[in-house]
Amino acid sequence: MKYVSEYRDRAAAEEYAERIHQLVSREWTIMEVCGGQTHSILKYGIDQLLPEKITLIHGPGCPVCVTPIELIDQAIEIAGIKDVILCSFGDMLRVPGSVQDLTGVRASGGDVRIVYSPIDAVKIAEQNPMKQVVFFGVGFETTAPVTAAAIIQAAHLNLHNFYMLVSHVLVPPAMQAVLSNTECRVQGFLAAGHVCSIMGFTEYEPIAKEYNVPIVITGFEPLDILEGIHMCLKQLEEGRALVENQYTRSVNRNGNPEAIDMMREVFEVIDRKWRGIGAIPESGLGLRKKYSRFDAAERFGVSRHTVEESGDCISGQVLTGEKKPDECPAFGGKCTPEHPLGALMVSSEGACAAYYRYRLIGSNR
């Protein structure tokens, strides 16, 4: 627990909470961008330590949750093709498409495998030259460099049976989309520390300036989050709107140049649809022409039809901070982790799953 337990110290947490109580003079609303932060907030009851004047709302910081139904359907279609091995992170298997999920495909005989890295999928392609291997690449800037590394490795090995279904998305354009919404209540952000460990935080500075909102790069442990909230509130109370870095042990201003270069070698910025939100310009990554032969959607000619979200699911309003999960009429009834209507109830970083686990179920224990 070294470098973890000290960030979960109860006395220190209570001290930070007291500082926040003394600091706050009016109502403020802060959005934590990352789903990992949302789970920590609910798991440790951080929101319950704060003054009633402070509202925390949950942002679009779960890449599994914002993967559009159309791409889920494409993965399902590919996984059902003979002699195809579809590899994915475990969170994706139970995310509902328009009709079923990848777990259903596997139960019907499809070769769907859970991997822990796209490099594992490259190895599977090497070991199975008579099969077509597809990796479903999902994630923010955090995981995109490893996906890029897998493509580069496959090219180096001259593999002709390895492909990628890409659904990587970018955080800053999503923050801008939230701030541009006429219903936006966000006055400050806790930005995702793991994304910034790759990208740094220079790209957040124009956002803070344009929208006059403080942005604090924040970690994931209780003391990280409380310190990040305190830093954000201090700016709000003083009328400042800057980018500050709470997560100094992992993040520097310029990020990881080698990882950024690898991403830019393989990917180009494209417009991307976000599940529950809609299209956000220049918010996704797609394969450059140089690596287009690895594009699974092109290789297998999968359909690209538009699919509507379930009418009972308000995930879009949750992802943009307009509503909280327990304000959804389907929450805990029609929609549970066992029978999810949307991705927010499935993913380990989904806000609905966090509310279900730590508030609905936890309150009944």
Q: What pLDDT, in 10s, does the model give residues 288-304?
A: 999 999 999 999 998 77
Distance separating alpha carbons of residues 268 and 282, to the nearest angstrom: 9
Instruction: Lowest mean pLDDT of 153-167, 241-255, 330-344, name the range.
Output: 330-344
- Asked if 131 contacts 28 with a C-beta cutoff of 8 angstroms, the reply is no
- Say what the pLDDT of residue 346 is: 84
194: pLDDT strictly greater than 90: yes
Q: Where are the alpha helices (DSSP H) in the chain?
A: 10-23, 35-43, 46-49, 63-66, 69-79, 102-107, 118-127, 144-156, 171-180, 193-199, 205-211, 222-238, 257-266, 296-300, 315-319, 351-355
Instruction: Lowest mean pLDDT of 8-12, 246-250, 263-267, name the range.
Output: 8-12
Question: pLDDT-derived band of residue 365, with 50, 70 and 90 as boundaries?
Answer: very low
- Say what the pLDDT of residue 117 is: 95
Q: What is the DSSP letter of 303?
A: -
**Number of Cα atoms under 13 Å in the Cβ half of residue 113:** 18
SS3 percent helix, strand, coil of the chain, rounded to 5, is 45, 20, 35
205: pLDDT strictly greater than 80: yes
Distance separating alpha carbons of residues 181 and 316, to the nearest angstrom: 12
- The architecture CATH gives domain 65-170+255-300: 3-Layer(aba) Sandwich (3.40)
Question: pLDDT-derived band of residue 307, with 50, 70 and 90 as boundaries?
Answer: confident
- Say what the pLDDT of residue 304 is: 73
Q: Which helix (H) or strand (E) holds 161?
A: none
The owner of tokens 């934590």 is: 32
Question: pLDDT-derived band of residue 319, with 50, 70 and 90 as boundaries?
Answer: confident
Question: pLDDT-derived band of residue 2, with 50, 70 and 90 as boundaries?
Answer: low
- Say what the pLDDT of residue 335 is: 92
- Say what the pLDDT of residue 321 is: 85
- Say what the pLDDT of residue 3 is: 62
- Asked if 32 contacts 190 with a C-beta cutoff of 8 angstroms, the reply is yes
Instruction: Give the chain's end-to-end CA distance (angstroms, integer).
Output: 27
Question: pLDDT-derived band of residue 263, with 50, 70 and 90 as boundaries?
Answer: very high
Question: pLDDT-derived band of residue 221, with 50, 70 and 90 as boundaries?
Answer: very high
What's the average model confidence in pLDDT over 328-344? 89
What's the average model confidence in pLDDT over 325-344? 89
308: pLDDT strictly greater than 80: no
Amino acid in position 174: A
Distance separating alpha carbons of residues 351 and 335, to the nearest angstrom: 13
Put the strands of the sheet holding 243-245 in their side by side order. Answer: 54-61, 28-34, 188-192, 215-218, 243-245
- Asked if 142 contacts 115 with a C-beta cutoff of 8 angstroms, the reply is no
What's the average model confidence in pLDDT over 225-254? 97
Distance separating alpha carbons of residues 293 and 158, to the nearest angstrom: 11
Distance separating alpha carbons of residues 58 and 40, to the nearest angstrom: 12
What's the average model confidence in pLDDT over 206-223? 97
- Please give the structure tokens belonging to residue 258: 């080698």
Q: Which helix (H) or strand (E) holds 59?
A: strand 54-61
